[in-house]
A = this chain, B = another copy of it.
Amino acid sequence: MKLRAEELGLLARGAAVLGTGGGGDPHIGKLLAERAVREHGPVEIVAVGDLPDDACVLPVAMMGAPTVMVEKLPSADQISVAVQTLAKYVGKTPTHIACIEAGGVNSTVPVIAAAQLGLPLVDGDGMGRAFPELQMVLPTLAGIEATPMSIVDEKGNRGVFDTVTNEWAERLARSATVDMGCSAIVSLYAMTGAEIRGAFVAGTLSKCVALGRAIERAQSQHSDPVAAVVDELGGRLLHVGKVVDVQRRTTTGFARGDATVDGLDASHGEVMVLRFQNEHLVAELAGTAVATTPDLIIVLDTESGEPITTEALRYGHRVSVLAAPADERWHSPAGIELVGPRYFGYDLDPIRALETV
């Protein structure tokens, strides 16, 4: 399977759905990847099951606040330099590139690396969604170390961290990201093919393209694109309404905030509040949580079905809020400890997307 320029818009759009508000603007992700693929040719996609056991897979991602990423684009070679810096440090030649998370930019940044370096891209990711901190990946649950990792900015500054825990990698890399202007490119979680098979979510890129295609099909057939996404994900519709307030602040390298959505139509009279840190973490109806991390809380434009990232949310947006189940490994005790509501400061047990109907 080859990823061609014409599929990149579908990929970025579907990834922004799974990105649950984070992972960066899909339009920017699409434009950057299209340029790379036009210049270097289509990118070969390899199924997780087809990876050689001894493959040297280097994931690559953008780290930082999506509010900044939309204004500060990576430089032409920043993405491949991040991969090359890590490869040189570990003294290995990469055979494959991978996505660490699903997200509008973070599903296409690896496409750019793969195109520029002429390497195949793994059809999978490390989360099955997006999360704000770098230790929040299934490989952490599988005991795989985030470091050595590289971090590179658009000015030419480079760093490598080699830390005692993945939380320390997050801490040091987050400070460097803030210094670098609140967004940077990182390459981390270097894995073998065998490790990828044990720790990744398989098929994420194909799923993103399918999601993007379902939205496009519903748009062209004038059917309900929100329903198409709910069908595709096995999720449920939580709320339909209009954004009436967004509180947003870019602090400690994250885009944090709350959005208030007044109910319309079936949700008339109900008010939903969304709490986010890059990604949506908690959805509350009338002050009571109805969906939480680790399950996916997704905001779509009600009319077009296009995913709306947290940094793009604005007053007046007509939106539909969905919940969908996360990869089951996130619901293990270790998974909940790593990414459950309490980690983010919400004194709540996790609420599953399909728990209360």
Q: Which residues of A contact B (CB under 8 A)?
A: 85, 89, 155-164, 168, 171-172, 175-176, 178-180
Determine chain A's interface SS by DSSP, over half rule. Answer: mixed
Residue of B with least CB distance to A180 = B172
Contacts of A158 in B (CB 8 A): 161-163
| 25 A–B contacts, CB within 8 A, in A order | A85-B162, A89-B89, A89-B160, A155-B164, A155-B168, A156-B163, A156-B164, A157-B161, A157-B163, A157-B168, A157-B172, A158-B162, A159-B159, A159-B160, A159-B162, A159-B172, A160-B160, A171-B179, A172-B176, A172-B180, A175-B175, A175-B176, A175-B178, A175-B179, A176-B176
This protein's copies in its complex: 2
Q: Kindly list chain B residues whose C-beta atoms are within 8 Å of the C-beta of A156.
A: 163-164
Chain B residues positioned under 8 Å from A171 (CB to CB):
179
Nearest CB of chain B from residue A147's CB, rounded to whole Å: 9
Write out the residue numbers on chain B whose beta carbons fall within 8 Å of the beta carbon of A162: 85, 157-159
A179-B170 Cα distance, complex, nearest whole Å: 11
Most buried by B among A85, A89, A155, A172: A172
Chain B residues within 8 Å of A180, by CB: 172
- Give A171's nearest chain B residue, CB to CB: B179
Which chain B residue shows the least CB distance to A169?
B157
Cα distance, A57 to B164, chains bound together (Å) = 28
In the bound complex, residues from chain B placing their C-beta under 8 Å from that of A164 are 155-157
Measured CA separation A179–B156 after assembly (Å): 23
In Å, the complex CA distance between A338 and B162 comes to: 32
CA of A161 to CA of B171, assembled, Å: 16
Query: Most chain-B Cβ atoms within 10 A of its Cβ — which of A85, A159, A168, A171?
Result: A159
User: In the complex, which residue of chain B has the Cβ closest to the Cβ of A150?
Assistant: B160
Given A155-B164, A158-B162; 16 other pairs, CB 8 A cutoff: A85-B162, A156-B163, A156-B164, A157-B161, A157-B163, A157-B168, A157-B172, A158-B161, A158-B163, A159-B159, A159-B161, A159-B162, A159-B172, A160-B160, A172-B180, A175-B179
Report the nearest B residue to A177, measured CB to CB: B175
Q: A158 to B168: give the CA distance in the assembly, Å.
A: 10
A253 → chain B, closest Cβ, in Å? 11
- In the complex, A164→B180 CA distance in Å? 12
Contacts of A160 in B (CB 8 A): 89, 159-160
Q: Which residues of B contact A89 (CB under 8 A)?
A: 89, 160
Q: How far is the CB of A153 from chain B (nearest CB, A)?
A: 9
Shortest 4 CB-CB distances between A and B: which pairs?
A175-B175, A160-B160, A158-B162, A156-B164
Complex Cα–Cα for A158 and B162 (A): 5
**Highest count of chain B CB atoms <10 Å: which of A160, A163, A164, A180:** A160
Q: Which residues of B contact A161 (CB under 8 A)?
A: 157-159
